[in-house]
Structure 1
Amino acid sequence: MKRRDLLKVAATGMAAAPLAMATGSAQAGDKVRLRMQTLYGTETDDLYKAFADDVKTSSNKSVRISRFRGGELVSNDQMLEAVSKGTLDMCQGYGGYWAGQLDIAKIESGIPGAWTSFDEAMYLHKAKGLTDLIAEAYAEKGVHYFGPVFGGPYDLLTTKPVNSLADLKNMKIRATATVASVLEKFDIPTVYLPSQELYVALTTGAIDGVIYGGSLEYKALKLHEAAKHYTYLNMINPGYADGMLINKAKWDSLSDDQRKVLELAYAKHATNMHAWNVNGCMDVNGEGIFEFASLPAEDSNALTAAAMSVWKDEAKKSERNSKAIAALTATAQAAGRV
């Protein structure tokens, strides 16, 4: 299925209805122009155009968004700081990139073992209060948090076959701080590199593998040209959560109707992006450009145990984190995982 067709499929159903109801209802206040940077490149142009068009139409053209691709205005790992300062008005970013600046960032981005299904992740965010805790943390940075944007798979791509965790001890793996904190318990070397550097790093041998996303993202970055061995890690699904952010002062300056338009557009976009990612990975998996394998059950269990240890470490960082980890634990118990 082509990407444009996926967007049409994703836009139908429950997510499309609320925004349609709001169309034309927003009062035209002061005209607002918002500069928004995302993590992604040209592969998501249709998604962000749909998001910007929804905002423009539903706000009676009083709010317009100019979207910039990953790294075009600031480095992806600097987007939180840029939104906090107002250099950017908005972003869709990954909390794992600013784990040193935000106490709850690792938990927000999808700490390994946090959830095993989309429904479980949404239950954690909405019923167990994770969204509110994350929003509280961002508010302290002068940023308003709309909510999560869940991705698809989050697995390992390497230049050589991987049959066990032991194989990774002789490789250098690109990982964010969130995943690195688990891998280091197995003496697996890790390094962080931004997405735009992964292709060169793999082709030159600077790294031997990446944990960045799923097959759709790996193909979009052309990483299959340098690495074809895809290993399912079974640590978390959906594999990660981005967050949509806006400068708090800018948010407060909007009218109630304009804020409602942005909230509804975000909700629709989040649903569309998750569907695009999951469906796209299924398409790519059928193309034969990757060789698929899974870790042995005992290794997957060992990763889960290590992840639970990381949970405890995160809980110690702040009272807020302690509450978040308690919510993760309660959700895992409700799902019968612990």
Structure 2
Amino acid sequence: MTTRRDFIGKAGMGIAGAAAFGAPAVHANKKTTIRWRMQTYAGPALAEHVVKPAIESFNKIAGSEMQIELYFADQLVPTGELFRAMQKGTIDAVQSDDDSMASPTEVTVFGGYFPFASRYSLDVPVLFNQYGLNEIWDKEYAKVGVKHLSAGAWDPCHFATKEPIRSLADLKGKRVFTFPTAGRFLHQFGVIPVTLPWEDIEVAVQTGELDGVAWSGITEDYTVGWADVTNYFLTNNISGAWAGSFYANMDQYNKLPDRLKELLKLTMDSSHYYRQWWYWGGEASLRVHGTKMELTSIPDEEWTQVEAAAVKFWDQVASESATKKQVVDIFKRYNADMQKAGRPYRYS
């Protein structure tokens, strides 16, 4: 803010300068810093890894030209309202998955953890950059005034629970915090999906409102405190990697000069790369050296029932629209290619 005293003082200097040079004072117009507000799906502890380093890097390089103010889960708006807030311009950008922020697109169901769509984290960027998902996402979000900026992978989806899970029967009646589509899929095995604000999960597990979470891998369980309130970690997973993205209000994005668009892209790529090694190393290390949760497994002969159910679920989703069928067909083609490629891409 410019105070009255500052204004008068600066005006006086301008007059003095004009008199000294015998010409009117000309003041260069300073460029206004572009300011964006971005909200992530992640709480503070998790955001320290999945987004904050990248945004700090962007701000450092962009300097006075542009600054992004980062907000954590539910800080400005509830996660389920992120899309609408961004579409309206209440916030400028979002880091989330399509499913959690309830985006009204044909691809929303595939965000987060679409059952068995991936086995490894590298599957996600390959699907988007080499198998055509980028083009589909771009088209779908352009219809609703949002720019899909960049997709990347996070961790696999596992159960962390208070009671052990060693068979499919043990899943029945478990009240679990999970993603909408994952919950829809798991419901057939007796799981009761529960939706709560992210920051309330730890307390909900402690009080018995929740029996566990199926929201992440073991790295996040330790990072955000869930490993402190659960006792068991199920090694079987329903997806090899969470698929999430960065998005922006289309009008705000279009106003950016090309240089800042390119910087934003590079920053997001650095964020994706950080998560690749942070999660990959963390998942293995904490299974081997972690002391807070006991590892359990459902036998392969039982788990094949879940994998078979996923194939039926894919076909069910594909029948809902032409765009969904296009995405499912890509998943099928990709996984068939990986299976034929053999080791190390897929193991029989």
TM-score, scaled relative to structure 2: 0.83
Q: Is the 8 A contact 2:125 2:152 kept in 1?
A: no
**SS class of match (1:88):** coil
How far apart are the structure 1 equivalents of 2:49 and 2:303? Answer: 36
Higher-Rg member (1/2) = 2
Partner of 1:226: 229
Give the 5 Å matches for 1:111-122: 111-122=114-125
Q: Is the 8 A contact 2:74 2:197 kept in 1?
A: no
Q: Give the CA deviation at 1:154.
A: 1.4
**Structure 1 stretches lacking a partner, 5+ long:** 1-27
Letter in 2 for 1:126: N
Q: Give the CA deviation at 1:206.
A: 1.2
How far apart are the structure 1 equivalents of 2:239 and 2:111? Answer: 13
Q: Is the 8 A contact 1:182 1:303 kept in 2?
A: no
What whole-Å deviation, never above 9, does each CA across 1:75-117 have from its counterpart, x for those lacking one? 1221111111111111101222145733211213231111112
Give the 5 Å matches for 1:56-75: 56-59=59-62, 61-75=64-78
Q: Is the 8 A contact 1:99 1:177 kept in 2?
A: no
Residues 98, 299 of structure 1: alpha-carbon distance in 2 compared, 3 angstrom cutoff: farther
**SS class of match (1:97):** coil
Partner of 1:217: 220
Give the 5 Å matches for 1:158-173: 158-173=161-176
Q: Give the CA deviation at 1:46.
A: 5.9
Partner of 2:182: 179
Letter in 2 for 1:50: P
What whole-Å deviation, never above 9, does each CA across 1:184-233 have from its counterpart, x for those lacking one? 22233222223212112111111212101012222233222321110022
Percent of counterpart pairs with the same letter?
Answer: 23
Residue in structure 2 matching 1:260, options 256, 259, 262: 262
Partner of 2:90: 87
How far apart are the structure 2 equivalents of 1:180 and 1:142? Answer: 28
Letter in 2 for 1:151: W
Q: Is the 8 A contact 1:153 1:278 kept in 2?
A: no
Q: Is the 8 A contact 1:36 1:66 kept in 2?
A: yes
TM-score, scaled relative to structure 1: 0.85
State how many pairs are aligned. Answer: 310
Q: Which runs of 4+ in 1 moved over 4 A?
A: none
Partner of 1:299: 302
What whole-Å deviation, never above 9, does each CA across 1:297-321 have from its counterpart, x for those lacking one? 0232111111111111221232211
Q: Is the 8 A contact 1:151 1:278 kept in 2?
A: no
Q: Is the 8 A contact 1:231 1:292 kept in 2?
A: yes
**SS class of match (1:234):** strand
How far apart are the structure 1 equivalents of 2:224 and 2:267? Answer: 27
Q: Give the CA deviation at 1:283.
A: 4.2
Q: Is the 8 A contact 1:173 1:208 kept in 2?
A: yes
How far apart are the structure 2 equivalents of 1:226 and 1:59? Answer: 41
How far apart are the structure 1 equivalents of 2:245 and 2:197? Answer: 17
Q: Give the CA deviation at 1:30.
A: 5.9
Letter in 2 for 1:162: I
Q: Is the 8 A contact 1:173 1:191 kept in 2?
A: yes
Letter in 2 for 1:72: Q
What whole-Å deviation, never above 9, does each CA across 1:39-84 have from its counterpart, x for those lacking one? 2233233664432233234435312111111111111221111111
Residue in structure 2 matching 1:250, options 249, 252, 259: 252
Residues 205, 243 of structure 1: alpha-carbon distance in 2 compared, 3 angstrom cutoff: same
Q: Give the CA deviation at 1:252.
A: 0.5
Residues 117, 287 of structure 1: alpha-carbon distance in 2 compared, 3 angstrom cutoff: closer
Matched, 1:274 2:272: no
How far apart are the structure 1 equivalents of 2:191 and 2:52? Answer: 40
Letter in 1 for 2:85: A
How far apart are the structure 2 equivalents of 1:56 and 1:303? Answer: 45
Residues 301, 284 of structure 1: alpha-carbon distance in 2 compared, 3 angstrom cutoff: same
**Structure 2 stretches lacking a partner, 5+ long:** 1-29, 340-345
Letter in 1 for 2:277: A
Partner of 2:13: none
**SS class of match (2:96):** strand
Partner of 2:333: 330
Q: Is the 8 A contact 1:185 1:306 kept in 2?
A: no
Give the 5 Å matches for 1:184-223: 184-223=187-226
How far apart are the structure 2 equivalents of 1:157 and 1:102? Answer: 30
Letter in 1 for 2:70: R
**SS class of match (1:246):** strand
Q: Is the 8 A contact 2:125 2:153 kept in 1?
A: no
